[in-house]
Amino acid sequence: MLFWLLDPLLTLVEKTGAFESIFETMKPIMSDAGPYTLLVLVVLIGYVHAVPGAAVAQVVLIDKLFGPLVASLGIPPAAWSVSLLGTAQIDQLGPYPTADMMGQMGLARSSDLRMMLFNGWAIMAVNSVGFLVLFAVLL
């Protein structure tokens, strides 16, 4: 049911051209960037412009936008997969409160949003370092 309700939202977001405008704005930077920098930038886009609850749709959209550039730079599929995973899954931890975070707080019967954000930021920091290391290893 949730995915049926999200479909109109994702269709609307795609029709507004939000991700395309981000791509066009960053295209000069990304085409000059190397593979490592490109992967980091894609993950950062996911940190800020994530669509809560729509990880699969977000991965498909980002792959459609950045896939040709990734292929032209010769980035290995394993590194691109790690980048897409980070882009789609990190939004449940922050950087701002999302529906995913509220759902987790409800399951834990918690009302301390401040500590939930601090916890999410700490996990995001550790994950970010992990992504940087993984990208260095995979490239």
Interatomic CA distance for residues 10 and 2, integer angstroms: 12
Give pLDDT, residue 56. 76
Q: Which residue has the tokens 């500590």?
A: 115
**Helix 77-89 crosses helix 113-138 at what angle (to 10 degrees)?**
170
Question: Do 76 and 139 touch, CB atoms closer than 8 A?
Answer: yes
- The DSSP secondary structure of 73-93, one letter per residue, reads HT--HHHHHHHHHHHHHGGGT
Determine if the pTM surpasses 0.85.
no
Q: Pick the closest to residue 59 from 27, 32, 86 (CA basis).
A: 86
Ranges of the chain with pLDDT below 70:
1-7, 49-54, 91
Query: How much is the pLDDT for 2?
Result: 62
pLDDT of residue 61: 79
| pLDDT given for residue 17 in this prediction | 76
Q: Output b/e per residue, 58-97; b: 16+ Cβ within 10 A.
A: bbebbbebbeebbeebebeeebbebbbbbbbbbbbbbeee
